[in-house]
Amino acid sequence: MNKYISLTLVALLFMSSCMRRGEGSVDVSTQEDTVPQIGFFPSDFTVDSTKVREGETFTGLTGRLGLGNLASLELVQNCDSIFDAKRMRAGNPVEAYYSADSSGRKLEYIVYHNDKIRATVFSCADSLRGWLYDKPVLTEHKIADVTITSSLWNDMLAKGISPLLIVDLADIYAWTVNFFGLQGGDRFRVIYDQTVCDGEVVRIDSVEFALYDSGSFRAAAIRFDQRDGGNKYWNEKGESMRKAFLKAPLRYNRISSRFTYHRKHPITGVVRPHTAVDYAAPTGTPVHSIGDGTVTMCGWDGTGGGNRIRIRHMNGYETCYMHLSKFASGIKSGVRVSQGQTIGYVGSTGHSTGPHLDFRVWKDGTPVDPLKMISPPSEPLNKDNLDSLHKMYNSFLLAVGE
């Protein structure tokens, strides 16, 4: 039934019911009287926009906006289940809504934007309370087709594609495509889902398929979750897009010392083997395990390595991370770690002339140069899933115009 006819019938029945009860006539109004999702009508107030200042506390912010100190403290206590004042971040947007009174302006509401989607709304007048507000979002299914003419970033922007997609592609192709060596003519076709809020792409939800083509080299990536907690991206042969080991265990500034059997030690002056790579990085830089494995040592190294972690991996590989400032929470001998997991932080403990990571690799007990190591492949897709993968691959190729 047409919704307008339906609404008219409801109104007529309601009027008839009222007249039967002797309640007189009824004014049927179409005026919207539903309180908006944010909890108040912003258009009823004047608004000031600001941002949280560096080092500013919640009571400092509310005081600056016009709320008394005692009321601010009560507001924090009343909202402690939904808002942690200590996690308020400098630079986040804030709106203050005011009504007019005899003395000028009266603070009614404060809206603190936790992120691009969620906000915390504080009622500052009739009641000191708060609630969470999520802006309406839209999930979009998209197909991108970008051929590089200047840079992947610029060419995506030119086509109205969010550069956030580059981050996901770089993760998926981390072991296959050198994103620092992309050339003009290289082409990416991608099928993905994204979330949009207020007309802005706020996140890439998932990449379902990607196809990279340089002219001489093609690499497809198909998202297929076996629900075993492992890899999710595979090529059309069922081979994992992920290798057993990352290229490096951290984001580093430079390599300060390379793998060699003849290095003069910077402290002792003795020439001896340095079967490691030293990555110079600021103290506190997170250090990641390059692969899945089990921690076999975690503690102080009495031979000059300072705080160090040693991990046993598959196929006879072992890695060691030295001179750490501290260990990550939960890291100790016997703990299982996953590829990319933070295990510690760069430091300068032990015999060290400055903050860096001393990183070592062994294969069956023999030192291996980490910069020349060929990473073994991860486990392939379960054979029972190959037929489904091939069907997905062919349907994706059709979708991107192959």
Query: How do the pLDDT tens digits run along the chain, 402 residues long?
Result: 443 333 333 343 334 443 333 433 334 344 445 778 899 999 999 999 999 999 999 999 999 999 999 999 999 999 999 999 999 999 999 999 999 876 788 999 999 999 999 999 999 988 899 999 999 999 999 999 999 999 999 999 999 999 999 999 988 988 888 787 789 999 999 999 999 999 999 999 999 999 999 999 999 999 999 887 777 999 999 999 988 888 788 876 677 676 565 555 555 555 566 778 899 899 999 999 999 999 999 999 988 899 999 999 988 999 999 999 999 999 999 999 999 999 999 999 998 889 999 999 999 999 998 888 878 777 889 999 999 999 999 999 999 998
Contacts for 14 with CB less than 8 Å, ≥ 6 apart: 26, 28
What pLDDT does residue 262 have? 52
Which 3-state string (H, E, C) describes 58-78? HHHHHHHHCCCHHHHHHHHHH
The answer to whether domain 42-134 and domain 254-368 are alike in fold is no
Task: For residue 288, give the nearest of 347, 219, 339, 361 by alpha carbon.
Answer: 339
What pLDDT does residue 267 have? 53
What pLDDT does residue 18 have? 39
Cα 178 to chain center, whole Å?
A: 22
pTM: 0.62
Report d(CA 60, CA 64) in Å as an integer.
6
For domain 42-134, the question of CATH label 3.10.450.350 is answered with yes
- In this structure, what token pair is assigned to residue 199? 């007309």
Q: Fold for domain 254-368?
A: Glucose Permease (Domain IIA) (2.70.70)
Query: Any idea where the domains of the chain sit in the sequence?
Result: 42-134, 138-234, 254-368
Q: Fold for domain 138-234?
A: Nuclear Transport Factor 2; Chain: A, (3.10.450)
Contacts for 162 with CB less than 8 Å, ≥ 6 apart: 156, 194, 201, 204
Report d(CA 67, CA 122) in Å as an integer.
11
